[in-house]
Amino acid sequence: MMFNIELKDVGKSYGDNEVLRDIDFSVDKGSFTAIVGKSGCGKSTLLRVIAKLEETSKGTLTFSGEGSKDPKIRIMFQDDRLIPWKNILSNISIGAVNKAAAKESLQEVGLIDKEKDWPDQLSGGQKQRIALARALASNPDILLFDEPLGALDALTRMEMQNLIEELWQQQQFTSLLVTHDVTEAVTLANRVIVIDKGTIQLDEKIDLPRPRERDEKFTYYEKKILNQILGG
């Protein structure tokens, strides 16, 4: 099931520190939205609010879908958060619909041959594939990405971007990606939101065909978003 997400006048404060203020936007079901900005701008806090890991200090967060008020939300972090004393299949089975779903998600990320391995036997890229498989095994309505590719080398990062895009197109879950990488945002998202000092400074629709190529129009979006971040 797919869900819309709506935030109205959302704010988040920690004591006197106002991290988010006047956040107003909605996310269409099945869409892919990227949130970018400088370090400390509030983008990860916003993702945690949407994930319901943090309560809003003001405003409202609502979800709407067919026949249910409670979407199944999963979040993928930069660190894989695998349990070292459980093998790969056991790691993926945590929160999975069932064991068959765990195996299917492992197949989807191309690592079915690793189901009996231990996390410390895998490369960084393989661990992030496993983290992605674990999120998918629960059949999420909304999948959130908190800079999950930031620690990967350039080639592995591109491979993971392609895999995420492919699985999103196949499964049509609603996606939000927090990243500091503008190129990654334009590559994956059909909408990019720029946050600075806790507020939305730019909300840009990315009108590019898929798979995306780094052509003149791609560069146009890249420069527009980057200029907003650097000038903010």
**Is the predicted pLDDT of residue 232 greater than 90, yes or no?**
no
Task: Compute how many other C-beta atoms are within 10 angstroms of the C-beta atom of residue 223.
Answer: 11
**Is the predicted pLDDT of residue 69 greater than 70, yes or no?**
no
Give mean pLDDT, residues 196-219: 96
Instruction: For residue 46, name the pLDDT band (cuts at 50, 70, 90).
Output: very high
Instruction: State the CATH architecture for 1-72+153-232.
Output: 3-Layer(aba) Sandwich (3.40)
pLDDT for residue 65: 76
**Is the predicted pLDDT of residue 51 greater than 80, yes or no?**
yes
- Average pLDDT over all residues of the chain: 94
Map out the domains of the chain as residue ranges. 1-72+153-232, 78-139
Give mean pLDDT, residues 121-134: 95
Three-class SS of 168-181: HHHHCCEEEEECCC
**Long-range CB pairs of 167-171, under 8 A, 24+ apart, other chains included:** 167/108, 167/109, 167/132, 167/136, 168/32, 168/143, 169/210, 171/136
